[in-house]
Amino acid sequence: MLDWLLNLLGFGGEDRSGYNKGLIKELEKEHEQLIGKINKMIGMMDVLNEYMVKKHIDEFKVELLSYFMKDEFKFIKYLTDHYSEDKETLGKIKTYEEELKDMKKDIISLLDKSMGEDSIFKDKVTKHLKSVIFIMKSRLELQSKELFDLYKK
């Protein structure tokens, strides 16, 4: 029963070590879908009222947090466990993990601003959402350049 629930939440498919051969593709696909949703929101900004802006951003934020959970609890956790004996590589992973966390905090902060008092200023919300896209792309670029190769067996 627990395995079914974990798979439903996106926490399945791993072998005993926590490795999931499809995880990188899943993360990349979800990342592209999230960016697509932000672009769609930006395109609809002229027709959304303040309530709808908040609603769309709130729904997006739930999906984004799910993505971050998968990233942290499946991808980063596997790397730190797998390289626990290799102090040099583990140190690099920890450094990149901190950078990724900082980027995540920046993204969430921008979304929160967009749902707060800035929500009545559509130009500010659009600017925040474009910044979110930039940070998300930078985040994926960092992972692709520095961490994805460490994950592949």
Q: What is the pTM of this model?
A: 0.88
Indicate whether 17 belongs to any domain.
no
Indicate whether 6 belongs to any domain.
no
CATH code for the domain in which residue 91 is found: 1.20.120
Indicate whether 138 belongs to any domain.
yes
Q: Residue 105 is part of which domain span?
A: 22-151
Q: What is the mean pLDDT of the chain?
A: 90
**Has residue 3 got a pLDDT over 60?**
no
Indicate whether 8 belongs to any domain.
no
- Once rounded to an integer, what is the mean pLDDT over residues 69-97? 96
Tell me: the pLDDT tens digits for 48-67? 888 999 999 999 999 999 99
DSSP helix, strand, coil percent of the chain (3-state; round to 5)? 85, 0, 15
Indicate whether 83 belongs to any domain.
yes
**Has residue 151 got a pLDDT over 60?**
yes
Q: Report the domain count for the chain.
A: 1
Q: Are 50 and 152 in contact (CB under 8 A)?
A: no
Indicate whether 10 belongs to any domain.
no
- Position 6 scores a pLDDT of 52
Indicate whether 12 belongs to any domain.
no
Percent residues over pLDDT 70 in the chain: 91
